[in-house]
Amino acid sequence: MTSVAHRRFVHLGMDVSRDSISVAILPAERDSAEVEKISSDAESVRRLVKRLGRPAGLWACYEAGPTGYDLYRLLRDLGVRCDVVAPSLVPKGRGDRVKTDKRDARRLAGLHRAGELRAIGVPNPAQEAVRDLCRTRGDMVEDLTRARNRLGKFLLRHSLVYRGGSTWTMRHERWLRQIHFDDRALQLSFDHYLSTVELRDTALAAVEADLQTYFATAPFADAVLRLGAYRGVTHMGALCLAAEVFDWRRFPRARTFMSFTGLTASEHSSGLSQQRGWITRAGNSHIRGQLCEAAWSYNHQAHIGPVLATRHADVPPATIARSWKAQSRLCRRFRTLAARKNVKSVVATAVARELAGFLWAEMTVTD
């Protein structure tokens, strides 16, 4: 049912692309929207708002995507109310097989007026800048992993397998530098693969050095300190989580935050039947990756090692107590589930979901 508050506005459903914006204009007194296409530059948007009349009577929405938040900020500066909505939560008919910019804009305008769209949180420019740097680090990690895998597969093709324990340790790197091929082409291939790994490793170290300057910088310092008190969450991971979430209180409950991470189980229930499947993955993949990586540290007995003890320096005692409570429960939870499940990654995912709840509680508690 359309709310009275939404009826007071002229709704603008905007399908945004790189070069153009399809705008569906839905006045309060009409049930169908008119669509027009404008250029995506700022001046065209200003002309549209000026032509439509009083900015305070307009309410725009568009889907989050690769075009970012510049349009949102421009509309807010012009006095237009604007929501950036989650694309994965926009209702779509199962039988709808036609997709055009006009249809998408009309759908957005109608659903927005009906109150059926969920707005996402929009970071300020400074928060978005740090978030982009954190995502750059994530890209560097992926590039380094790919380079290492290519080198490992090259060596495997030539029956060179490292048997000295964990790979990519100092001992493993010394072993790599002792490898020599008699064939010049093979040696050149190995040198290129190894130099690529070293280049990716250097690039990652440079990005992490840049990020470390934000550990003690507002508005991230408090989150880095408190989240870093939890096992598996390094200061670097805490900064990445804080930059992605940036406003923990916009989630009213822990379950809502878990859904945002995409770590909750999918469900299809009808009548007396109830079926649950894999996790939805319908959330922030960057947060999900950080949480799943941290969850593996709970595979061992609960204890406070020297690294974690260092991170506990200057942390409020109440936070340390909550982090120990979380560690005790999650370590026990990991062992219990691991005894029943053959696939450890499923166990880590379940622990990551609970860890998300503990972290949300930590950042929303009032001591």
Give the pLDDT confidence of 147-169 residue by residue, as tens digits: 999 999 999 999 999 999 999 99
pLDDT band at 284 (very low <50, low <70, confident <90, very high): confident
For the chain, give the mean pLDDT. 92
For residue 29, the model assigns a pLDDT of 86
Q: Which residue has the tokens 């670097």?
A: 236
For residue 367, the model assigns a pLDDT of 67
For residue 57, the model assigns a pLDDT of 93
pLDDT band at 191 (very low <50, low <70, confident <90, very high): very high
Integer Cα distance of 308 and 48 in angstroms:
55
pLDDT band at 1 (very low <50, low <70, confident <90, very high): very low
Share of the chain above pLDDT 90, in %: 81
Question: Mean pLDDT, to the nearest integer, of 8-26?
Answer: 95
Rounded-to-5 percentages of helix, strand, coil across the chain: 55, 10, 30
Cβ–Cβ under 8 Å, residues 104 and 87: no
Task: Evaluate if residue 173 carries a pLDDT over 50.
Answer: yes
For residue 341, the model assigns a pLDDT of 87
Task: Evaluate if residue 35 carries a pLDDT over 50.
Answer: yes
Task: Evaluate if residue 270 carries a pLDDT over 90.
Answer: no
For residue 3, the model assigns a pLDDT of 53
Q: Which residue has the tokens 């707005």?
A: 119
Query: Could you give the count of Cα atoms lying within 13 Å of 267 in the half-sphere of its Cβ?
Result: 8
DSSP secondary structure code for residue 299 in this structure: G
Task: Evaluate if residue 323 carries a pLDDT over 60.
Answer: yes
Share of the chain above pLDDT 70, in %: 98
For residue 2, the model assigns a pLDDT of 46
pLDDT band at 268 (very low <50, low <70, confident <90, very high): confident
The Cβ of residue 18 has, within 10 Å, a number of other Cβ atoms equal to 7
Name which of 102, 26, 23 is nearest 57 in CA terms.
26
Tens digits of per-residue pLDDT, 66-110?
Answer: 999 999 999 999 999 999 998 878 888 777 788 899 999 999 999
Task: Evaluate if residue 22 carries a pLDDT over 50.
Answer: yes
